[in-house]
Amino acid sequence: MRISTCSSPVAFGPPRRYYDITDDGRKALSEWQFAWRDMREFVDDALKAGTVPVGVIPDGHAGAAT
């Protein structure tokens, strides 16, 4: 589980929910941040060059250029 939850009763309305990230969630977040940073740099470089690098098709998946 990457997020833990608990609820607390309140005087009016539905119970209040609290969320906390778990250690596994922190690890997953860190991995996604690195992946996102790499993707952002790739896109920034492609935009600066004005072209898409060879081997990348327009839908964003790496593969043979056609």
Q: Is the pLDDT of residue 19 over 90?
A: yes
Q: From CA 5, how far away is CA 20, in angstroms rounded? A: 6
Q: Is the pLDDT of residue 25 over 60?
A: yes
The reported pTM is: 0.48
Q: Return mean pLDDT, the chain.
A: 82
Q: Sketch the domain layout of the chain as residue ranges.
A: 23-56
Q: From CA 22, how far away is CA 19, in angstroms rounded? A: 10
* 6: Cα separation from own chain's centroid: 24
